[in-house]
Structure 1
């Protein structure tokens, strides 16, 4: 794949004035079982393609569309271009199983975008990024005196080291990998319905950022035996987790060992507080035992003719 691997700063408040929109989120999802098994039909209750277009035309006219453009964000410093073509990105990393089902649609036509290449990458349960372990600050090693709460005792101050994931903005220029690890990274193709599913673990957190997953959507390229080639990135964004789920994860072994102060969703400098449009995932899990696994779903409305590479 191709793409500019620099990021000058957050661009999470994309101008949407040229489109009048009706927001729609991901559809009904069934509960996930032990190990975060893929839940078939997670979007069964969601309209797509002609059905969605017909629904929109009955209530909208002119420039109105079915979905709002999903917010663009900075790429961040730790993107590695199309390094692993796979759906299961877990490798040997421990953590709460997470099955992430994404749907990519054209925000103007509401039609699913098939054969797009979707990247996701995120830190592990202790805030470490593969490929950049020496630059990741993460947190952990000894049990904290108190578990992370919904209201941190203070907001981190001062400027973080250049390029470190502890950066409060999540921006900064692209960093070259410092190691050969590639866990919790992967790229896969959307199907005819615009859907793609990844198996991973619930991310942890690091200083200055709330819990999140990075993503890119590439279109107009070609799938070959070597992977995905050419095309352009039409969307660069992040997925976010509500406070209830993060607080529940913080009680689970490994996450509970983190000694890093956590930034809440409302304090994050990248998340634009717009809910699903801003990348907030819809989550399903056993509220009494999140350790069994989590199912996350979201529909991304993108503009396939535009280039949004996170710079």
Structure 2
């Protein structure tokens, strides 16, 4: 199980605070069609501390600082479903999530890593915690304006913020929109899911963990350390487009925008902002989301003690997870 998160000793001296993300031509990766092939594009940018990006005759990658560590939140379920298609029967806009994991020191692909993703459904509900989620379904109301009102109260679903929300035990047996799968030899892993909805106090987001150093067995993934706990975010244009599509359009929950979110650090790709691709005026047909995560395989970031996130006060982090 990926829950065994004991850290391994460093293999060599590293700067464990220096986290970077691939930037290629202004984006993490270049996407070709929804569900299509992804490849890093050539970039002759700078490197730091004398490290050289990996390169072939057609491509190169340059590493930059990544600051997207967050807490795992109360509703993480450890490696419960080893699968790539996590949709089950949930309605929503199809989303192909194409991720790449690289070593932030060497820029080399991290293969056989276990990657967890989990997120709420189109109406803000989390599987395993349906009774605790504060989604805003029903009603047939008008699409949200994007301007939240008041201060979020109660126990918000699915953590990711600073000091708030210890782990909660599941309240039901549902496991939709959750899954774990391994990276290939090039560091890629793909998930099939739906575009997330929103709930009170948070912008649209997806949670992620990366585990390394463990062993894949016939029944799961055991041992190793969790080297990254973070979140992915969606740009406002895409979220507003999704809000015109059912069942998102039936939500009556006020939506927190990307710039108002207390967890997203406003740093673009480095902060977890996905590159989203879909046909103009045709988001309902499907979205491709891509990003490259730079991680330190020797570090442990299990999301339980990372403190208050950038831009968030302690009280805001405790209430918006």
Tell me which interval the TM-score lies in, with the shorter structure as reference length.
0.7 to 0.9
Match of 1:255 in 2: 248
How big is the shift at 1:225? 0.2
Say whether the 8 Å CA contact 1:102–1:196 is kept in structure 2.
yes
- State TM-score, norm by structure 2: 0.82
Deviations 1:228-278 (A, max 9, x none): 111110000000000000000000011000000000000001111110010
Q: 1:168 to 1:18 in 2, by over 3 A?
A: closer
Q: Please identify, of 274-283 and 21-30, the stretch whose mean Cα deviation from structure 2 is larger.
A: 21-30
Give the one of 44, 63, 76 matched to 1:79: 76
What corresponds to 2:185 in structure 1? Answer: 192
**Counterpart position of 2:214:** 221
**Equivalent in 33, 57, 60 of residue 47 of structure 2:** 60
Q: Are 2:131 and 1:134 aligned?
A: yes
d(CA) in 1 for partners of 2:70, 2:128: 21
Any stretches of 5+ residues in structure 1 without a counterpart? 6-15, 33-37
Tell me the residue number matched to 2:272.
279
Change (3 A) 1:141 1:300: same
Off by >6 Å, runs of 4+ in structure 1: none
Identify the residue that residue 206 of structure 1 maps to in structure 2. Answer: 199
Judged with a 3 Å threshold, the aligned counterparts in structure 2 of structure 1 residues 187 and 289 are, in CA distance, closer, same or farther, namely same
Distance in 1, matches of 2:93 and 2:271, equals: 24
After the TM superposition, which of the residue ranges 80-89 and 67-76 deviates more from structure 2?
67-76
Aligned residues: 281
- The answer to whether 1:295 aligns with 2:291 is no
3-state DSSP class of the match of 1:91? coil
Q: Give 2:157's aligned residue.
A: 165
Match of 2:120 in 1: 123
Deviations 1:153-185 (A, max 9, x none): x43315x224x3188947411100000000000
SS in 2 for 1:217: strand
Is the 8 Å Cα contact of residues 2 and 221 (structure 2) preserved in structure 1?
Answer: no
Q: CA RMSD in A?
A: 2.4
Other-structure match for 2:41: 46
Structure 2 counterparts to residues 15-54 of structure 1, below 5 A: 19=18, 24=23, 25-32=27-34, 38-39=35-36, 41-43=37-39, 45-46=40-41
Q: Secondary structure at the match of 1:265?
A: coil
Distance 1:185 1:223, change over 3 A: same
Match of 1:12 in 2: none
